Amino acid sequence: MMKINDHIPLKELFAIRGMAQVVTVTFGLVVLCIIFGILNPNFFSGENTLNLLRQIAPILLIGISQSYVLITGNIDLSIGSVVGMSTMIASTLMSKGGVNPWIALLITMAACLTVGAANGLLVAKCKLPPFIATLGTMTIARGIAQLANNNYNTDSIGKILGDEAVQGFRDFFYYGSFLGIYNTIWIALVLWIAFNFLLGRTRTGRHIYAVGSNVEAARLSGVSVTATTVKAFLVSAFCSCVVGFILCAQAGMGAMDAGNTYELYAVAAAVIGGVSTLGGQGLLIGTVIGASIWGVLQNGLQFANVAVAWRNIIIGSIVIVSVLLDVIVRTGAKSKKVMK
Amino acid sequence: MKKFLALLTCLLLIAGLFAACGSGGTDEAASGDTAEVAKVYLITMDQMDQHWQNVNKGAEEVAAANSDLVEYKWSAPDKKDDAQQIDKVNNAVADGAKVIMIAANGPDAISSALEEAAGKGVKILYVDSPANFPGEATFATDNKAAGKTAGEQMLAELQAQGITSGDIGIINVKPDTTSCVLREEGFRSAFEGTGFNILTTQFCEGDAAKSQDAAANFISQGCVAIFGTNEGGTVGVGNAIKASGKSVVGVGFDKSDTILGLVKDGSLLCTMAQNPDQMGKLGMEAAIKLLNGEPIDNKNVDTGVSVITKDNL
């Protein structure tokens, strides 16, 4: 078995890694867009395109978070809580402490990365099941979010600093635009390019895939499983933290339940895009499509005046179908190999 | 493999079409003559609470009677969430809404998004809960006045029973839930200058079980009356009084089936019912006025509360 695996040509390997599903869901996305465009021509207006992309941006970022962790064969349930923690710490520092926004963001980032590192160490070093480890940090991080401002949502972040002083921060993450495109979209794009490069073109990226495909094989070939896993969880915490900044800039205050259940949106965006929950497989371009499908459904179904309940049913069905595809492809590939 | 891909594509298509069918009816009817019809959006905190459904009902009625003027859409996040509600506002603006009627989830979080919308020429009306951004008008319960009414009802009952002094407990939601804090303020004002002593408020996050525990504590402390400021709190108060079997006077807010049941069996003296359908109705009438370029005379309308007792149930 092992030997056959080793001889699969590189080209075929890439094909298995999920390109097929990316192509399929891209087609699905196009179909959805066309349907929504027919139902309501405003869907394709320039204004809505920008608006839609701005809504997709945070989903894409948490999607990147979850994709990295899923590819290592783990899951990160703490994403939503880290988003909430990020929002609450940043806005408490500004609204109560009068801390300069950019310094507040640095402190917040340090706190969030600590959670990421803890996740990685608990899973890789202490051998806790990722579901349990991140369930724990999820609860702790939400508790920290609540504790940050003493169990209240914060006041306006400009309360001490003045509204003008925080406007720069709010524009940078949400309200401003560059070359006619909202900054939120640029942020997501830049981070996506960076993390796509890290995953696809560097040694760290190859290690992440290796750990997800077969932990033992990776360990035997000299990959540091602990370091790789920690790195993946750090990327996850980093992106979640940035989403927290975006929510903070958007609302101009911190809400304790911000980011609630985002970890599940992130799983949905990742698996719709072909990232395997079994590890070792997935492309970040797929995550873009997954996040877009999520965003397009949110936006398009509102335009088509469909009740929230239907949106949930449709999204749920799409998630199941996507994973079903993954399972079918994997079992198909396995039986083929055996036949050879 | 190819077959499965084809099957998948079909499934996606069907899912998409499903969405299309779900909405096709209303959309076609409305988009037939788009020249004069203006889009009016109602954005509530969620779509699940009966309260919002009644706001929608009120708005829908008026919109249906003016379908030559208004294309009405109701949208809301699937749970109470600032970020999601902001997305809904942005979507409505992108969809070309002329008027947005909104129940703000939080007064601050949504303000910048509404400012952005107003900057694009969209008129903002508030129903139920205003934000800290000046809208064209607000149609909401005057919570302070409603709380005072609740206090007066309780006081009248206590006096009728010949009780003139004693402790009174309050079950509230959270210290930053503005509407309920105002209700409490109004309630307390009704007891100024009487012999009653109002104890420290218990905050139970609107959770019926927690509220019941806190209310039971009040009863064992010897309270003569308890006030619940919202639906969950009221259910808790009613159930605690029922369980204790004592003649404690309970007054609450909102009307769910459970609360009406507790009023019916005498556990609660009365409950203050808001008039969400009035919010929707008056809000939509104001939206039509705005579309016609007419001025709105009363910019801050109290949609009032109805006192529901065993007798008028």
A313, A330 contact by CB (below 8 A): no
Q: Is B63 on the interface with A (CB under 8 A)?
A: no
Q: Does A223 or A322 have the greater pLDDT score?
A: A223
Q: Is the pLDDT of residue B199 over 70?
A: yes
Interface contact flag, A318 B8, Cβ < 8 Å: no
Strand partners, B126: B102, B138
Q: Is the pLDDT of residue A327 over 90?
A: no
Poorest-pLDDT segment among A213-222, B1-10, B143-152, B189-198: B1-10
| Banded pLDDT at B19 (limits 50, 70, 90) | very low
DSSP B193-232: TSEEEEPPPEE-TT-HHHHHHHHHHHHHHT-SEEEE-SHH
Q: Is the pTM of this model over 0.80?
A: no
The candidate with the shortest Cα–Cα distance to B211, out of B241, B176, B179, B255, is B241
In this complex, the residue of B81, B94, B109 whose CB is nearest that of residue A253 is B109
DSSP chain B: -HHHHHHHHHHHHHHHHHHHHHHHHHHHHHHTTTTT-EEEEEE-S-S-SHHHHHHHHHHHHHHHHTTTTEEEEEE--SSS-HHHHHHHHHHHHHTTEEEEEE--SSTTTTHHHHHHHHHTT-EEEEESS--SS--SEEEE--HHHHHHHHHHHHHHHHHHTT--EEEEEEEES-TT-HHHHHHHHHHHHHTTTSEEEEPPPEE-TT-HHHHHHHHHHHHHHT-SEEEE-SHHHHHHHHHHHHHHTS--EEEEES--HHHHHHHHTTSSSEEEEE-HHHHHHHHHHHHHHHHTTPPPS-SEEE--EEEEETTT-
Alpha carbons B299 and A305: distance in angstroms, whole number: 29
Alpha carbons B277 and B52: distance in angstroms, whole number: 9
Chain A: closest CA distance from residue B269 (Å) = 33
Chain A partners within 8 Å of B77 (Cβ): 308
Q: Is B115 on the interface with A (CB under 8 A)?
A: no
Strand partners, B306: B273
B8, A327 contact by CB (below 8 A): no
Chain A: closest CA distance from residue B78 (Å) = 6
Residue B89: count other Cβ atoms within 10 Å of its Cβ: 23
Q: Is B34 on the interface with A (CB under 8 A)?
A: no
In this complex, the residue of A58, A152, A325 whose CB is nearest that of residue B8 is A325
Interface contact flag, B18 A52, Cβ < 8 Å: no
Interface contact flag, B1 A20, Cβ < 8 Å: yes
Percentage of chain A beyond pLDDT 90 is: 41
Q: Average the pLDDT over B104-124 and give the result.
A: 91
Chain B partners within 8 Å of A260 (Cβ): 79, 81
How many residues are listed for chain B in this entry? Answer: 313
The candidate with the shortest Cα–Cα distance to A108, out of A94, A120, A118, is A94
Within 162-221 of B, beta carbons closer than 8 Å to A belong to 175-176
pLDDT tens digit sequence for A116-151? 999 999 999 898 999 999 999 999 999 999 888 887
At B161, the amino acid letter reads Q
Structure confidence at residue A43 (pLDDT): 85
What residues have CB less than 8 Å from A112, skipping those under 6 apart? A82, A85, A86, A237, A238, A240, A241, A244
C-alpha B296: how far from chain center = 23
Q: Is the pLDDT of residue B1 over 70?
A: no
Chain B: closest CA distance from residue A168 (Å) = 14
Q: Does A175 or A107 have the greater pLDDT score?
A: A107
A229, A72 contact by CB (below 8 A): yes
Q: Is the pLDDT of residue A97 over 80?
A: yes
Percentage of chain B beyond pLDDT 70 is: 89
Chain A partners within 8 Å of B26 (Cβ): 305
Interface contact flag, B91 A51, Cβ < 8 Å: yes
Structure confidence at residue B6 (pLDDT): 52
Q: Is the pLDDT of residue A323 over 50?
A: yes
**Terminus-to-terminus CA distance in chain B, angstroms?**
63
Q: Does A1 or A103 have the greater pLDDT score?
A: A103
Structure confidence at residue A9 (pLDDT): 53
What residues have CB less than 8 Å from B109, skipping those under 6 apart? A250, A251, A252, A253, A255, B82, B85, B86
| Banded pLDDT at A334 (limits 50, 70, 90) | low
Structure confidence at residue B34 (pLDDT): 45
Q: Is B113 on the interface with A (CB under 8 A)?
A: yes
| Banded pLDDT at A102 (limits 50, 70, 90) | very high
Alpha carbons B108 and B130: distance in angstroms, whole number: 10
Q: Average the pLDDT over A189-218 and give the result.
A: 91
Number of H helices, E strands in chain A: 16, 2
pLDDT tens digit sequence for A230-288? 999 999 999 999 999 998 988 888 888 888 889 989 999 998 888 888 888 888 998 99
B215, B237 contact by CB (below 8 A): yes
Chain A: closest CA distance from residue B280 (Å) = 18
Between chain A and chain B, the number of residue pairs with CB atoms below 8 A apart is 154
Interface contact flag, A300 B19, Cβ < 8 Å: yes
Alpha carbons A185 and A57: distance in angstroms, whole number: 6
The DSSP letter of residue A178 is: E
Chain A: closest CA distance from residue B148 (Å) = 26
Poorest-pLDDT segment among A237-251, A312-326, B225-239: A312-326
Q: Is the pLDDT of residue B195 over 60?
A: yes
Poorest-pLDDT segment among A65-79, A238-252, A312-326, B178-192: A312-326
The mean pLDDT value of chain B amounts to 86
In this complex, the residue of B9, B26, B96 whose CB is nearest that of residue A305 is B26
Q: Is the pLDDT of residue A328 over 80?
A: no
Domains and CATH numbers, chain B: 34-141+276-303 (3.40.50.2300), 143-274 (3.40.50.2300)
CA angle B147, B149, B152 (to 5 degrees): 110
Interface contact flag, B91 A314, Cβ < 8 Å: no
ipTM: 0.70
Q: Which residue of B has its CA nearest to A55?
A: B87
Instruction: Report strand pairing: B305-309 vs B123-127.
Output: unpaired
**Terminus-to-terminus CA distance in chain A, angstroms?**
10
Interface contact flag, B95 A306, Cβ < 8 Å: no
Q: Is B53 on the interface with A (CB under 8 A)?
A: no
For residue B263, give both structure tokens: 């009023």
pLDDT tens digit sequence for B240-276? 998 888 899 999 998 888 899 899 999 999 999 999 9
Q: Average the pLDDT over B6-14 and give the result.
A: 52
Q: Is the pLDDT of residue B197 over 80?
A: yes
Poorest-pLDDT segment among B18-32, B53-67, B137-151: B18-32
Q: Average the pLDDT over A46-62 and give the result.
A: 89
Structure confidence at residue B78 (pLDDT): 78
| Banded pLDDT at B14 (limits 50, 70, 90) | low
Interface contact flag, A39 B23, Cβ < 8 Å: yes
Q: Which residue of A has its CA nearest to B112?
A: A251
Interface contact flag, A258 B82, Cβ < 8 Å: yes
Interface contact flag, B15 A311, Cβ < 8 Å: no
Q: For testing the chain A interface, which of B12, B72, B89 should be mutated: the one with the most A CBs within 10 Å?
A: B12
Alpha carbons B265 and B256: distance in angstroms, whole number: 14
Poorest-pLDDT segment among A21-35, B32-46, B99-113: B32-46
Q: Which residue of B has its CA nearest to A252?
A: B109
Alpha carbons A82 and A95: distance in angstroms, whole number: 19
Residue B172 has φ and ψ, to the nearest 5°, of -115, 180
Alpha carbons B37 and B64: distance in angstroms, whole number: 12
Interface contact flag, A301 B19, Cβ < 8 Å: yes
Q: Is the pLDDT of residue B42 over 90?
A: yes
| Banded pLDDT at A215 (limits 50, 70, 90) | confident
In this complex, the residue of A32, A310, A318 whose CB is nearest that of residue B22 is A310
Q: Is B111 on the interface with A (CB under 8 A)?
A: yes
Alpha carbons B45 and B123: distance in angstroms, whole number: 19
pLDDT tens digit sequence for A141-183? 999 998 888 877 888 888 888 878 888 888 899 888 899 889 9
